[in-house]
Structure 1
Amino acid sequence: MGRGYNLLLILVTFLVLVAAVTARRPRVGFYGNRCRKVESIVRSVVRSHFRCNPANAPGILRMYFHDCFVNGCDGSILLAGNTSERTAGPNRSLRGFEAIEEAKTRLENACPNTVSCADILTLAARDAVVWTGGKGWSVPLGRLDGRRSEASDVNLPGPSDPVAKQKQDFAAKNLNTLDLVTLVGGHTIGTAGCGLVRGRFFNFNGTGQPDPSIDPSFVPLVQARCPQNGNATTRVDLDTGSAGDFDTSYLSNVRSSRVVLQSDLVLWKDTETRAIIERLLGLRRPVLRFGSEFGKSMTKMSLIEVKTRLSDGEIRRVCSAIN
């Protein structure tokens, strides 16, 4: 009986460990009864911050891209510190941190030490799309928070990258060309700093002239917003004419060469990415529905290098600092 009991104990322990490992794999409904209000709390906080300042919606969405493309979707972008990811050049203009921290505070009160900051940011990115008129999607949850956040790790796709480089960067994250084009469509909300784009509209490649691939009627609009000697931190809409609505307008502007980012404009010049844009705009069959495809691509991105073992991550008590 002693031997049988020991074997039973070993088996039970093994099954518990297996269950624990399985439980940490991101899935829809991960928190179950342990935190039934997780989605409603995050949704409410994002709505409040969006109503206070609509720029928080694209800010949170952009923050999520920047988090997932550096060491995976682990909330490392949220960590503060003199050399953290936040301090890297591309991240200094990020906004929306207060919304994530408020959601974390409310969730710690509702269900302590249960919901990771990485999951909060994942939900907030989805809700930012919804509150700007986009289509929602079911979000797999169960990520742990990363403990590493170094500015030196930040190597994000750039605003002047050619299509081949963009495809390579996305493929390295297990994202295909459809994901690339669809996620770029997320630029339908948000802004860019004038210092980032001004060169294309005044002195493209040292020519002293605007980029000839830009629609000529679009050039003076951006030049007026971003004067040659103006403030580099002034923001210009990414999606001219529909900057606050999550729709296909941005892809239409790519097609019309009326976008400020060179990396987006060149997508219309490449045969593969152009065909995808046409399908998302309903101009080529089989037609792709942008809202549905965006949710699918966001879900794929949300699973990049997630932390699922306690040896790799934790559930932070506050999002800006490791425990």
Structure 2
Amino acid sequence: MEKGAMVFPFPIAVSCLFIIVHIFANSVSGSLVFNFYAASCPTAELIVRNTVSSSSSSDPSIPGKLLRLVFHDCFVEGCDASLMLLGNNTEKSDPANRSVGGFSVIESAKRVLEFLCPGTVSCADIIALAARDAVEIVGGPMIEIPTGRRDGMVSVASNVRPNILDTSFTMDEMINRFSSKGLSLFDLVILSGAHTIGAAHCSSFRDRFQEDSKGKLTLIDKTLDNTYADELMKECPLSASPSVTVNNDPETSMVFDNQYYRNLLTNKGLFQSDSALLSDNRTRKFVEDLANDQEFFFESWGQSFLKLTSIGVKTGDEGEIRSSCASINA
């Protein structure tokens, strides 16, 4: 456990969660404040929430996409919507980000907010709020997050790979990457719980298999349950289209819960980086505790999500408030 990591040895009453998260947020969020738009755009958070809810109703994959979007944005250049910028050499153009989705939801909310409160609400805040709301919409905890992020003006593809995680990472590689963002070992375990929703392309876990002499996939990663591996190989044969996806959570893929950790205990983590959490002595006990206590997971999620969405934020005179999330202001 890294020094200073906040881990509660027993469940905290849900009624106390907001107070604890509020205090914790103030310690990590710098100039971000709660209800930042109370005077300048009072309905900002409601508009984002309604947009996410409406989009999720018509496309159940949206919550998972929004959660992945906030991770990929915050780990590169901080939580500044730099991933939203279009261009030949921007973050969005890097192959690692080409399968990231949810952009249309952010742009939809932005258009409404620009009509009602022009030049006021940042794309960076919309991304953070949308991911927060996405979790709640599919059964996760309701948390308050501070706002006041400003949009970045730098987005370079070459910055992506040195900063984001890969599903094939070892535990040490994941720890180093999280530590570089000010996130602890416990944050790593908690935020990996995002894989309780969403889906992944076959290529993201294909390295756990190899082609045998008959041209069929065969399991080579012995940390994966054999029956589960057989199911994955049926869903992702070598002939599968690159667009084919598999649910991250084979049990409750549309619900934000602690099933992810229960899956790990039965060797049903989709990615190599998931299975590593169980096989490594530094994180196994966390996995076991979280698998046995959903309330503990929800409380811990609130803390770690606040830290995630406070990485490298730009506030005050930094950056800008974009008129369109896809481009910097003229």
Give aligned pairs, total.
294
Is 1:256 aligned to residue 266 of structure 2?
yes
Give secondary structure in 2 for the equivalent of 1:281.
helix
The structure showing larger relative contact order (alpha-carbon pairs under 8 Å, at least 6 residues apart) is 2
The match for 1:50 is: 56
Q: Which has the larger radius of gyration?
A: 1
Q: 5 Å matches for 1:1-323?
A: 25-155=31-161, 156-203=164-211, 209-282=219-292, 289-310=296-317, 312-323=318-329
Question: 252-261 or 35-44, which moves further after superposition?
Answer: 252-261
AA aligned to 1:167 is: I
1:39–1:123 Cα contact (<8 Å) kept: yes
Unaligned runs of 5+ in 2: 1-29
- Cα distance change on mapping 1:133 and 1:208 into 2, 3 Å: closer
The match for 2:13 is: none
Unaligned runs of 5+ in 1: 1-23
Give secondary structure in 2 for the equivalent of 1:299.
helix
Give secondary structure in 1 for the equivalent of 2:302.
helix
Whole-Å separation in 1 of the counterparts to 2:75 and 2:63: 19
Query: 1:27 Cα shift?
Result: 1.1
Query: 1:277 Cα shift?
Result: 1.1
Query: 1:209 Cα shift?
Result: 4.0
Whole-Å separation in 2 of the counterparts to 1:196 and 1:209: 15
Give secondary structure in 1 for the equivalent of 2:205.
helix
Q: Deviations along 1:16-70, whole A, 9 cap, x unmatched?
A: xxxxxxxx91111111211110110000000011011011110011000000000
Q: Deviations along 1:171-194, whole A, 9 cap, x unmatched?
A: 111100111000000100011111
Whole-Å separation in 2 of the counterparts to 1:226 and 1:274: 29
Whole-Å separation in 1 of the counterparts to 2:210 and 2:54: 39
AA aligned to 2:269 is: V
AA aligned to 1:269 is: S
Whole-Å separation in 1 of the counterparts to 2:305 and 2:195: 14
Q: Deviations along 1:126-147, whole A, 9 cap, x unmatched?
A: 0110111101111110011000
Give secondary structure in 2 for the equivalent of 1:31.
coil
Question: 62-71 or 247-256, which moves further after superposition?
Answer: 247-256
TM-score (norm 2): 0.86
The match for 1:10 is: none
Q: Runs ≥4 in structure 1, deviation > 4 angstroms?
A: none
Give secondary structure in 1 for the equivalent of 2:246.
strand
Question: 29-38 or 228-237, which moves further after superposition?
Answer: 228-237
